[in-house]
Structure 1
């Protein structure tokens, strides 16, 4: 096990979740670097269409994130 991995595993669950969120945000900042296959593109199109049909059906990311943080105790 690398030193970095060992250090990460010493973080609390809340801290590790924050780290995962930070890493994900850094990936999302460069979407062109994440190639999608045709099935993934179709699924995204399907979800976008579902959203357009009923925009109130889902929850905004900020609400989902808060619910997750509340569950994790952070």
Structure 2
């Protein structure tokens, strides 16, 4: 694997979080990037069924990012 052209250590915490967000979004566009095993697929189906029954709970991604940024300041 080639060395990254970007020195992540030189980025601010906000820039690192932005980079992480962008990488995660790009990886999420490719369904083959994270192939699921049978047990993972069963668990995902269970969680989706639970979501349909109970509705969403927890924090949105934007809330998680905002909290992480607030802690880094």
Residue aligning to 1:55: 55
Deviation at 1:37, TM superposition (A): 0.8
TM-score (norm 1): 0.71
Structure 2 unaligned blocks of 5 or more: none
Mapped partners of 2:46, 2:17: distance in 1: 29
TM-score (norm 2): 0.71
Residue aligning to 1:4: 5
Residue aligning to 1:18: 18
1:27-64: CA deviation from partner (whole Å, max 9, x where unpaired): 00112332111121122112212211211423332333
Give the 4+ runs in structure 1 shifted more than 3 A.
none
Residue aligning to 2:42: 42
Q: Report the RMSD for the aligned CA atoms in angstroms.
A: 2.1
Q: Identify, as 1 or 2, the structure richer in helix.
A: 1
Aligned length: 71
Mapped partners of 2:69, 2:47: distance in 1: 25
Deviation at 1:16, TM superposition (A): 1.2
